[in-house]
Amino acid sequence: MGCRVAVVGGTGVVGEEMLNVLRDRKFPLDELRVFASPKSAGRKVKCGKKQATVEEIRDGSFKGVQIALLAVDKELAKKIAPKAAAEGAVVIDNSSSFRMDKDVPLVVPEINPRKAFDHKGIIANPNCSTAIMLMAVYPVYKLAGVRRIVAATYQAVSGAGRKAMDELPAQLAEVMKGGKPKPEAFPHRIAFNIIPRIGSFDSAGYTTEEVKMQNETRKIIGDPRIKVTTTCVRIPVMRAHSIAANIETEKKVTAEQVREALASAPGVDLEPLKDVYPMPLDASGKYNVLVGRIREDASQENGIDLFVSGDQLLKGAALNAVQIAELLVQEGLHG
How far lies 298's CA from each of 12, 17, 128, in Å? 44, 41, 29
- Per-residue H/E/C for the chain: CCEEEEEECCCCHHHHHHHHHHHHCCCCEEEEEEECCHHHCCCEEEECCEEEECECCCCCCCCCCCEEEECCCHHHHHHHHHHHHHCCCEEEECCCCCCCCCCCCECCCCCCHHHHHHCCCEEECCCHHHHHHHHHHHHHHHHHCEEEEEEEEEECHHHHCHHHHHHHHHHHHHHHCCCCCCCCCCCCCCCCCCECCCCCECCCCCEHHHHHHHHHHHHHHCCCCCEEEEEEEECCCCCEEEEEEEEEECCCCCHHHHHHHHHCCCCEEECCCCCCCCCHHHHCCCCCEEEEEEEECCCCCCEEEEEEEEECCHHHHHHHHHHHHHHHHHCCCCC
End-to-end CA distance of the chain: 14
Task: Give CA–CA dist 233/326, Å, rounded.
Answer: 32
**∠ at Cα 93 (116, 106), nearest 5°?**
40
The answer to whether 304 and 330 are in contact (CB under 8 A) is: no
Write down the catalytic residue from 3, 47, 119, 128. 128
Write down the catalytic residue from 3, 47, 232, 241. 241
- Name 8's bridge partners: 35, 70
Answer yes or no: 128 catalytic. yes
The answer to whether 70 and 91 are in contact (CB under 8 A) is: yes
For the annotated catalytic residues, the residue numbers are 128, 241
